[in-house]
Structure 1
């Protein structure tokens, strides 16, 4: 029954086309209870410099996060949010949960720089041969390259708690011993929303100049609109908004700011998790920081 609830909860967290839903269900079924295999003789370091004797064999749970070499490293890591999540878990569960980071970067110098810049003082394995992935064949989707494991390294839940607040909620339920929930607990009063834009081009501008745009969400349904969280695909994109519930007929502005770290052509995604029937909502900004 427990595994049924985990599958049901995860299914409820993704509102998407039928084919994608089926793919997610198949993926969850494939990884449920699967044992993760770890390579021998890999080294963990802190801040990319000091080697540490890191072991998680005596912990009850392990949160395993893998990062491949595809795409923007800084966008994928979001280390500041990981620090907040680790601190929250440690304060609530104590030492029974370990966080295990395996990174297979295309540019190790860039990864060293990001880790030092973010003062990320947790053990990290630089898996240059991608040994962990070769043993386990992880999903290609970054949203499913993070796993919650039990003491036998078997998968209890799959999903990135940094990129999806509902996955974070699920992880916390499990870690706190409340992984089976009643149907009433997952009943959500949904509403409908409309957006003035879903994609905003910022054009060409100096990479040193911060850019700001506004997306407006209007509650066009019959129930109160509640935004659970807003996630960005990169730390260079920030979003501010009024966190008060929005009554039917009302609206809320999402103030998005983008500050490039270097010249680049960019296409960034803002994901809005809320009680809209079409949640999560995907917004995009794009342009050329010269």
Structure 2
């Protein structure tokens, strides 16, 4: 009798747990259409070899924006090589209609800069030591939901990390390539 009660209790616990598929669908629905807010004092730089290049940001049709916190930075979840591959594939398709922004909140700024230089990551990065970007947006704890494709009005139109998920990569590329450039 006791083992039957344990079995029923375990079954109830498992049936109450949200499946990954439902959780992803719920978070995607909740975040699609939300506005992404950027700190006014964001400074974007790229760290190539021994030089630092600063970027002035312009509004584009789309922006891929990703937030990487100190835990992801420390655990080698940056996936810089995968990001470089995605961004290089994106350049010909984007034709100036897209910006890619990286907000990094590392524990150690100098170690982060060393990682970026070592990998020759020459894309705009904001090292957000005060974590202002996160505080403005309150992203979900799930790291799958910290990379967004944002339209020119800063509204989220797609969610997911194209450096980690080939399906997300294809969705982003398809959406960007389907958009016709504005006539000059």
Residue in 1 that maps onto 2:6: none
Larger strand percent: 1
Query: What is the deviation of 1:75?
Result: 1.8
Within the candidate set 51, 54, 57, 1:52 is matched to 54
Residue in 2 that maps onto 1:246: none
Query: In the aligned structure 2, how far is the partner of 1:42 from the partner of 1:124?
Result: 10
Query: In the aligned structure 2, how far is the partner of 1:53 from the partner of 1:105?
Result: 20
Q: 1:56 to 1:176 in 2, by over 3 A?
A: same
Query: What is the deviation of 1:25?
Result: 1.4
Q: Once the two structures are superposed, what CA deviation does each residue of 1:62-97 show, in whole Å capped at 9, x if it has no partner?
A: 000110111453621111111111111111221101
Q: What secondary structure does 1:95 align onto? A: coil
User: Relative contact order (alpha carbons < 8 A, sep ≥ 6): 1 or 2 greater?
Assistant: 2
- TM-score normalised by the chain length of structure 1: 0.53
Cα pair 1:149 1:157 within 8 Å, conserved: yes
Query: What is the deviation of 1:19?
Result: 2.2
Query: In the aligned structure 2, how far is the partner of 1:73 from the partner of 1:85?
Result: 22
Alignment length, in residue pairs?
A: 161
Q: Once the two structures are superposed, what CA deviation does each residue of 1:205-261 show, in whole Å capped at 9, x if it has no partner?
A: xxxxxxxxxxxxxxxxxxxxxxxxxxxxxxxxxxxxxxxxxxxxxxxxxxxxxxxxx
Q: 1:71 to 1:60 in 2, by over 3 A?
A: closer
Query: In the aligned structure 2, how far is the partner of 1:129 from the partner of 1:99?
Result: 21
Matched, 1:33 2:33: yes
Q: Note the residue ranges of structure 1 that are not aligned, 5 or more in a row.
A: 1-16, 179-290
Residue in 2 that maps onto 1:78: 79
Residue in 2 that maps onto 1:167: 168
Query: What is the deviation of 1:152?
Result: 0.5
- TM-score normalised by the chain length of structure 2: 0.81
Q: Note the residue ranges of structure 2 that are not aligned, 5 or more in a row.
A: 1-16, 180-184
Residue in 1 that maps onto 2:21: 21
Cα pair 2:82 2:164 within 8 Å, conserved: no
